[in-house]
Amino acid sequence: MSTGAPAVTTPMVRIVGVDKHFGAFHALRHIDLEVSPGEVLCIIGPSGSGKSTLLRCINQLESVDAGAIWVGGELTGHVVVGNCLHPLDDAQVAAQRRRVGMVFQRFNLFAHMTVLENVIEGPVTVQRRAREEAVRQARELLGRVGLIDRQNHYPSELSGGQQQRVAIARALAMQPALMLFDEPTSALDPELVGEVLAVMRNLAASGMTMVVVTHELGFAREVADRVVFMDAGELVEQGSAATVLTAPQHPRTREFISAVIK
């Protein structure tokens, strides 16, 4: 029998009052944002608006100057002892980061390793998993991204779209709870974009929590549960994909989308 009380779900990502400076440049301005488990959040906005910086702060590649970020309910970068915050050491930060997969604009594959070796490197070296288990999982992931027939090729033998699909498989091999994508198609030739977006659509359909910085508004309209528009380090507008991309409320959002879809 139901108690009538609503279910309480811990956000996968909770960002409260985050600021980030690079010298005099104010990259992020008091960002408040939550991402629910299983949600696909797309972040759009002009270059220099803070989108990539926000992802890098979530994954602790950059430290925040104010505010706090929680991933999976755990405060990142610090631990509370008594009434004081103490920074985590490098090993502790690395342990937290393993729960988050990140795919960059550039593929960053190891050129001297085959596709299969690239995918198993993290699980074997970092997570100390058995090589046989890692190979089995890697082959399953390469099947998911349509590259099992390329497992013994080197990155130089692959197209840009294939390399990015390997990068996605490599991130998934670490069994993350959250996937971050930083404009994963921006370095690709236009005819290769679709194959990467198809993999991301399938990943979203599987229930993976995803935060995607993208300029592909069609993809955001189709896949995103929610869209955030950022400008000048601020979160200007957020809402459903249909609302933000079709009927934005803020003049700056309308201006941006009109310019992009021309």
Tens digits of residue pLDDT in 54-103:
999 999 999 999 999 999 999 999 888 877 888 898 889 998 998 999 99
CA-angle at 105, arms to 107 and 100, nearest 5°: 80
Note the pLDDT tens digit of each residue in 27-48. Answer: 999 999 999 999 999 999 999 9
- Assign 2 a pLDDT band (cuts: 50, 70, 90): very low
User: Looking at residue 262, what is its pLDDT?
Assistant: 61
Lowest mean per-residue pLDDT among 2-16, 32-46, 143-157, 174-188: 2-16
pLDDT score of 1 more than 50: no
Per-residue pLDDT at 86: 85
Query: Is it the case that residue 180 has pLDDT exceeding 50?
Result: yes
What is the pLDDT at residue 191?
A: 85
What residues contact residue 174 under an 8 Å CB cut-off, 6+ apart?
98, 101, 122, 123, 126, 127
Residue 225: pLDDT above 90?
Answer: yes
pLDDT for 108 beyond 90: no
Q: Please state, in angstroms and rounded to a whole number, the distance separating the CA atoms of residues 74 and 205.
A: 26
| pLDDT given at position 82 | 79
In sequence order, the β-bridge partners of residue 13 are 35, 71
Query: What pTM was computed for the model?
Result: 0.92
Spatial contact of 229 and 241, defined as CB atoms under 8 Å apart: no
- 214 contacts 43 by C-beta, under 8 angstroms: yes
Would you say residue 4 has pLDDT above 60? no
Task: Report, as an integer, the average pLDDT of 105-119.
Answer: 93
What mean pLDDT is predicted for residues 105-127? 93
